[in-house]
Amino acid sequence: MASSGAGFASHDAYLHGFFSASIKLPADYAAGVVVAFYMSNGDVYEKTHDELDFEFLGNIKGKEWRVQTNVYGNGSTSVGREERYGLWFDPTEDFHRYVILWSHDRIVFYIDETPIREVVRTKSMGVEFPSKPMSLYATIWDGSSWATSGGRYKVNYKYAPFVAEFSELMLHGCAMATSSSAPSCTPDNASIHNAVVMSGRQRSAMERFRTKYMTYGYCYDRLRYPTPPPECNAGAEAELFLPTGATRSMDRHGRSRRHRRNPANSAY
C-alpha cells in the first residue's frame, strides 16, 4: 500500500477547556510526515469550522522536527494565523507534553510547562475567534506536498512504519453536542479562565521562547499579507515577539485543510 493513515478522536465535543497529551515523534527519516494534535468541528460545520492545531512537521535525517500552531475561526482558512517554531529538545527521544488551553477570551499553547503562544480575543477578530464546540483529534498522515521544504522532500516509505506515540491524554472542559449554541459552562469555565491568565514569569518565558525559536509568524508575512490582519496591528506587543531572523514568507502549499485531515490520504 503506497500510503495509509491513523488517528483517534474524542467521543465528546467541548466548549473551552484544557487539552493535553504527551507525545513522542517518529525518529530517523521523517520527511513529509505530519503528526497532528488538534481540535476541530469541521465534520459539523463544513464551511464555518473552528480549529486549533499543533502540527509536527517531519524532516530529513539530521534535521530537527518543526512545530506549527494554527488558529482557525468560523472557516477562516484563508487567514490561518499560522506560526512555526524550532524546539530546544529532540522530540523523538522522549515524551513531551503539548497543551491547548482555550477559554472564551483567549487561547494559550504550551510545550511542557512553557507557554509558546497566546491568542487574545479582540473585537477586530470578530467571529474568527474559535467559539463553537470542538472535538479533540490526533492523526499521522502524508504531507509530502508541503510539509518539508515546501514539498521538496517527500515521505519515503522504505522507512515505514512511522510511529507517533501518545500518552497521558487529558481532556478537561465542558462536554456538549457540537451543534449546541450554549454560550458557556459553569463552573468549569471559571477555572479555565483563571488558568489562561499568565503570571509575569510565564509571560517572560513565552517571550524568550518566541524570540529564540519562532521561525515564522503570519503577522510578519508581507508577501502573504501586504496589509496585516487587523489583530496584528497591536503595536508594541506584536513587535516584541518578532524573532531574530524569522521567516517573513511561508511555503505556498495551498493545502485544503479538509482534504489533509482525511486519514485515507495520510502516512503511517
Q: What is the mean pLDDT of residues 87-98?
A: 97
10-250 fold:
Jelly Rolls (2.60.120)
Q: So what's the pLDDT on residue 85?
A: 97
| Per-residue model confidence as pLDDT tens digits over 224-242 | 989 888 888 754 333 334 4
Q: Are 250 and 217 in contact (CB under 8 A)?
A: no
For the chain, the structural domain boundaries read 10-250
Q: The whole model's pTM is what?
A: 0.83
CA distances from 47 to 53, 74, 78, 182 (A): 18, 8, 12, 20
CA distances from 27 to 58, 98, 122 (A): 9, 18, 40
| Per-residue model confidence as pLDDT tens digits over 130-176 | 999 999 999 999 999 999 999 999 999 999 999 999 999 999 988 88
Stretch among 36-40, 69-73, 80-84, 228-232 having the lowest mean pLDDT: 228-232
What three-state secondary structure class fits 84? strand
- Alpha-carbon distance of 107 to 196, in angstroms, equals 7
Q: Are 97 and 20 in contact (CB under 8 A)?
A: yes
Which residues are marked as active site? 51, 55
